[in-house]
Chain A
Amino acid sequence: MIAALAVVPATPLLLAENVGRVDPVPELRSAARAAVGSVAAQADRLVVITASDVDPRHSRPPLGARVARELLPREADEVVVVPWDAPVDVCRGLGSEVAAAALDPAARTALVVVADGCATRTEKAPGHLDPRAVQVDADWLLALGCDESRGDLRAESPAPMRAWTGEELGPATPIDPRALLALDPGLAGELLFHGRATLQVLAGALAEDDGSATARGALTAYEVMVGDPFGVRYVVLAAH
């Protein structure tokens, strides 16, 4: 069964090799490590889901896989890498395979999803400013059960990383695979929303044939951190 889920960004800022004398993302790093550690502690099997790199000029594993490796307290049992531009049905199919491998009710599986939102949230963002990014990011965060219109999350970008807990999370809402599957790959590409395919693999792992959340995959977030300090939407989330 899929017992727990962590979502962390695929930013190379989380790799130790990129940290200078001052850590540019201390809160993000500690939250990501805590989220991954928390869900790993609830599981017997660890499955990492991430996307291929958009512009690989190297022969290393994909960035998301390396970030997961660095955050995880132990080696993952499986690493699923989806092409970053894979069509929705391919993502969903990969997700179904993840779900099938996790069917054994005696073996609790934790998914570690390494995915970012749009990289077009500010003038200085990697992909410059695209005003459509805010809504798209709000959509997938809502699909994960976090309503960005609640609390004080609607800060001006760039916003520092802020934890979102307790009442700000609102009533517990399970992750909605159907909403994740509705994310538009074309628009995602334009907004440098690199995590879209990864999130749709997650959706495939949690969805029934009709797209609704399955009993085995009904996960609800209990810790969330959100921000876009460099114009890229980072979400750290732990769910079970």
Chain B
Amino acid sequence: MAPVRFRLGSREYAGDARLVMAIVNRTTDSFYDRGLTWEDTAAYARVRQVVAEGADLVDIGGIKAAPGAEVPVEEELRRVVPFVEGLRAEFPDLTISVDTYRAVVADAVLAAGADVINDAWGGWDPEVPAVVAAHGAGLVLTHTGGQVVRTRPHRVEYDDVLASVVDSLTSQAEGALAVGVSRERIVIDPAHDFGKNTRHSLECTRRLGELVALGWPVLVSLSNKDFVGESLGRDVGERVPGTLATTAISAWLGAHVYRVHEVRETRDVLDMVSVISGDLAPMRTTRGLA
């Protein structure tokens, strides 16, 4: 497998890139931040902060993943489109991703200046790839095992969860290519916790190398999720160390993009892994060298 090269927004990356994608929720009810960046002022402040902390891209979401109040298309558009326009104006070079499962929303945000669609519900709306292709944008493909959008997995079993992940993502990638999405702008995500219990998500982490070996850039979304909490017996709010440990392991196994709440900490973990692996020089070395 040739080393992967990929593009997000105006940037080109090599296979040894480890990128921080900062979560910016335009929701009132997301599980971790609980509406922290619902207001415009807070949302812009969050983006300025994560950019300063070393985020490579932001991922804007207008609908929480878990079950909850219905968000009509018009409301989702209202939450994300003006924000994307505003960010594009303030940060011309920032790679902007939008987390949506709706093609109509994808179309609107890409027209407003977004670069990537994070299709977090596994191709639920079959029109999303064609919309992404029409804009020459990037596309994150996810595995949900066929889970209905905004539902929780209940008694889901797989013969081999990784095989399901590989089959689904490979087939989605081929589909995206077929409708014209650029090969170098396709990213795959095993989607921890989506259509998965904790053991499934742990297996996706343990065997992440098999996903990396497919040759597509791999995104992992681990941040403060239930599989981390259940692994450690930690509630939301106490999962950062577990998240960072999972981040380090995933980085060592070759994942490329990390969708996170804690940007500064993730940046350090990823850079540390890159330095250990030899993909990145240490920042500044004088110890024993004076």
Question: Which A residues form the contact surface with B (CB < 8 A)?
Answer: 11-13, 18-24, 119, 125-126, 230-232
User: Quick one: which of A12, A21, A22 has the most chain B CB within 10 A?
Assistant: A21
Query: How far is B282's CA from A126's CA once the two chains are assembled, in angstroms?
Result: 21
Interface residue ranges of B268-290 to A (CB < 8 Å): 280-286, 288-290
In Å, the complex CA distance between A24 and B287 comes to: 11
Chain B minimum-CB-distance residue to A23: B284
- A-B residue pair count with CB separations less than 8 angstroms: 34
By a CB distance below 8 angstroms, the chain B residues around A125 are: 290
Which B residues form the contact surface with A (CB < 8 A)?
280-286, 288-290
A12-B282 in contact (CB<8A):
no
- Closest chain B residue to A22, Cβ basis: B284
Distance in Å: Cβ of A96 to nearest Cβ of chain B: 32
Q: Are B286 and A13 in contact (CB under 8 A)?
A: yes
10 pairs, CB–CB < 8 Å, chain A vs chain B: A12-B289, A19-B281, A20-B282, A20-B285, A21-B281, A21-B283, A21-B284, A24-B286, A119-B290, A232-B290
Q: How far, in Å, is B285 (CB) from chain A's closest CB?
A: 5
Shortest CB distance B267–A (Å) = 13
Instruction: Determine whether the beta carbon of A126 is less than 8 Å from that of B290.
Output: yes
User: Nearest chain A CB to B44's CB is how many angstroms away?
Assistant: 30
Report which of A24, A126, A231 forms a contact with B285, defined as CB distance below 8 A.
Answer: A24
**Residue pair A21, B280 in contact (C-beta under 8 Å):** yes
Bound CA–CA A39/B80 (angstroms): 64
A20 touching B289, Cβ below 8 Å: no
Q: Which residues of B contact A18 (CB under 8 A)?
A: 285, 289
Contacts of B289 in A (CB 8 A): 11-13, 18
Complex alpha-carbon distance, A11 and B285, angstroms: 13
Task: Tell me the bound Cα distance from A12 to B285 in angstroms.
Answer: 11
Q: Is the CB of B283 within 8 A of A20?
A: yes
A-B CB proximity, top 9 nearest: A230-B290, A20-B282, A22-B284, A12-B289, A20-B281, A232-B290, A20-B284, A20-B285, A24-B286
Q: Which of A13, A19, A20, A21 makes the CB contact (< 8 A) with B290?
A: A13
Q: In the complex the two chains form, is A22's CB within 8 Å of B290's CB? A: no
A126 and B288 CA atoms in complex are apart in Å by 7
Contacts of A230 in B (CB 8 A): 286, 290
Other A-B pairs, 8, CB within 8 Å; known A20-B282, A21-B281, A22-B284: A11-B290, A13-B286, A13-B289, A20-B283, A24-B285, A125-B290, A230-B290, A231-B290
Q: How far is the CB of A43 from chain B (nearest CB, A)?
A: 30
User: What residues of B have a CB within 8 angstroms of the CB of A13 in the complex?
Assistant: 286, 289-290
Distance in Å from the Cβ of A137 to the closest Cβ of chain B? 15
Please indicate the chain B residues that have their CB under 8 angstroms from the CB of A23 in the complex.
Answer: 284
For the complex formed, measure the closest distance between the CB of A62 and the CB atoms of chain B, giving whole angstroms: 15
Chain A minimum-CB-distance residue to B290:
A230
Contacts of A11 in B (CB 8 A): 289-290
In the complex, A20 Cα to B282 Cα: how many Å?
Answer: 5
B114 CB to closest chain A CB, in angstroms?
31
Instruction: For the complex, give the distance between the alpha carbons of A202 and B71 in Å.
Output: 82
Count chain A CB atoms within 10 A of each CB in B280, B282, B284, B290 and give the residue with the most: B290
CB distance from B268 to the nearest CB of A (A): 14
Closest residue of chain A to B287 (Cβ to Cβ) is A230
Shortest C-beta distance, A169 to chain B (Å), equals: 26
B187 to chain A, nearest CB (A): 26
Closest to B286 in A: A24
Chain B residues near A126: list those with CB within 8 A. 288, 290
Contacting residues, chain A, for B280 (C-beta < 8 A): 21
Do the beta carbons of A21 and B286 come within 8 Å of each other? no
Chain A: minimal CB distance from B89 (Å) = 31
**Of all chain B residues, which has the CB nearest A18?**
B289
A19 to B289, CA, bound (A): 10
* Residues in B neighbouring A22, C-beta threshold 8 A: 283-284
Complex CA gap A13/B282 in Å reads 13
